């Protein structure tokens, strides 16, 4: 059993809950965040958790890094829906034997990220746990409109708001006990959520679907296509990648393009846009492909650089149980 199996059960149980709709749930499970109407206000809600040994390794993460990354990962989901984070709750599981200086370091990282994203932490919970974990829940407000994963249509172009692969390159270097360039270490230990891109894209009517790249470009693009009941053709050679990312993969004997395509935790925005594409998108973001009709069901991916085209596997990070 893996993460997709569990998520499928969640969708079947809660997505079409008519009672929830009567209580103000406008968008439920299946997107980076949910949209709930409370009174006359639409509130965007999300939650994201990091677990020691699964999402981070304290051999190269400081406790402050863990706190910072946990907040970044959660607010990224808010930006990915075209919203702006307003406040957060933090639940922390602390192992036996941890000392107060370590807790203070964790909180300092959380506070730094919360300050950068202007998202105050207003409460939460603390519990004892076998290993360190941090769960961040965020409430936000819409900038203009909620952008879901399910709005992509044939003919839309596929874009990335930033570079991919740096976090995965750093992880490989850390595990190989090799020197990690500062920019790659920063990408893995303290990733930045795309707040500027989220604010810009939320106001553009041509943007039809959006999500963040947290589990790997190919896997997340598959999810976007499945939600929209479409397929996608991409040009892997167009994936935006820093020189240091490319150099790191090459030095490890790995193919940079293949690794960048499946690397997770980049937290850049993956979005689709309906032509004509405004200049602000053309100038700032990278077009990597096009949405097409699905021959049977949504989610199929194709490499358009090959002749004839070849299918691409939806690879990325999946929790396995």
Confidence band for 202, pLDDT divided at 50, 70 and 90: very high
Q: For all residues of the chain together, what is the average pLDDT?
A: 95
Q: pLDDT digits over 156-176, tens only? A: 999 999 999 999 999 999 999
Whether 101 has a pLDDT exceeding 80, the answer reads: yes
User: What's the distance, CA 69 to chain centroid?
Assistant: 12
- Span 136-140, average pLDDT: 98
List domains and CATH numbers for the chain: 31-142 (3.30.1330.10), 157-312 (3.90.650.10)
Confidence band for 15, pLDDT divided at 50, 70 and 90: confident
What are the tokens at 265? Answer: 């935790």
pLDDT value of residue 296: 72
pLDDT value of residue 12: 82
Residue 30 neighbours by CB distance under 10 Å:
17
Is-contact 161 194, C-beta < 8 A? yes
pLDDT value of residue 21: 73
Whether 4 has a pLDDT exceeding 90, the answer reads: no
Give the burial class of 24: count Cβ atoms within 10 A of its Cβ; 0-12 exposed, 13-18 middle, 19 or more buried: middle
Q: pLDDT digits over 236-274, tens only? A: 999 999 999 999 999 999 999 999 999 999 999 999 999
Confidence band for 8, pLDDT divided at 50, 70 and 90: confident
Whether 16 has a pLDDT exceeding 90, the answer reads: no
Residue 5 neighbours by CB distance under 10 Å:
11
Q: Is 230 left (phi over 0), alpha (psi -120 to 50) or beta?
A: beta
Confidence band for 18, pLDDT divided at 50, 70 and 90: low
Complete edge-to-edge strand list for the sheet that includes strand 207-212: 207-212, 269-273, 157-160, 286-293, 230-234, 301-303, 310-312
Helix (H) or strand (E) holding 122: strand 121-128
Q: How far apart are CA 77 and CA 138, in angstroms?
A: 9
Confidence band for 3, pLDDT divided at 50, 70 and 90: confident
pLDDT value of residue 312: 95
CA angle 119, 122, 124 (to 5 degrees): 120
pLDDT value of residue 320: 85
pLDDT value of residue 276: 97
pLDDT value of residue 94: 98
Q: pLDDT digits over 265-297, tens only? A: 999 999 999 999 999 999 999 999 999 999 777
Q: pLDDT digits over 28-85, tens only? A: 899 999 999 999 999 999 999 999 999 999 999 999 999 999 999 999 999 999 999 9
Whether 5 has a pLDDT exceeding 80, the answer reads: yes
249: closest CA among 262, 238, 265?
Answer: 262
Whether 125 has a pLDDT exceeding 70, the answer reads: yes
Q: How far apart are CA 254 and CA 310, in angstroms?
A: 21
* Bridge partners for 292 per DSSP: 231
- pLDDT higher at 306 or 77: 77
pTM above 0.85, yes or no: yes
- pLDDT higher at 15 or 32: 32
């Amino acid at each position: 059993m893996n993460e997709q199996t569990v998520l499928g059960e969640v969708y079947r149980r809660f997505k079409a809950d008519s009672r929830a709709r009567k209580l103000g749930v406008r968008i439920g499970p299946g997107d980076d965040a949910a949209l709930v109407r409370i009174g006359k206000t639409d509130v965007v809600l999300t939650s994201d958790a990091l677990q020691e040994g699964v999402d981070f390794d304290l051999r190269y993460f400081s406790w402050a890094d863990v706190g910072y990354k946990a907040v970044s990962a959660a607010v990224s989901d808010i930006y990915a829906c075209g919203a702006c984070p307003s406040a957060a709750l933090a639940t922390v599981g602390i192992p036996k034997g941890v000392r107060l200086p370590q807790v203070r370091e964790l909180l300092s990282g959380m506070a730094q990220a919360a300050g950068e994203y202007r998202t105050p932490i207003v409460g939460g919970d603390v519990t004892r746990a076998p290993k360190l974990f941090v769960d961040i829940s965020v409430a936000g407000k819409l900038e203009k409109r909620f952008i879901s994963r399910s709005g992509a249509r044939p003919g839309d172009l596929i874009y990335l708001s930033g570079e991919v692969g740096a976090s995965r390159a750093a992880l490989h270097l850390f595990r190989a006990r090799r020197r990690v360039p500062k920019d790659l270490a920063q990408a893995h230990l303290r990733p930045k959520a795309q707040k500027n891109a989220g604010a810009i894209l939320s106001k553009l009517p041509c943007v039809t679907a959006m999500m963040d790249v947290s589990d790997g470009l190919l896997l997340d693009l598959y999810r976007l296509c499945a939600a929209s009941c479409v397929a996608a053709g991409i040009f892997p050679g167009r994936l935006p990648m820093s020189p240091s990312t490319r150099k790191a993969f090459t030095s490890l004997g790995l193919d940079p393009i293949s690794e960048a395509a499946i690397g997770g935790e980049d937290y850049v925005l993956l979005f689709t846009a309906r032509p004509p594409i405004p200049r602000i998108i053309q100038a700032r973001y990278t077009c990597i492909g096009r949405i097409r009709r699905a021959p049977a069901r949504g989610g199929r991916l194709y490499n358009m650089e090959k002749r004839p085209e070849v299918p691409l596997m939806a690879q990325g990070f999946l929790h396995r149980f």
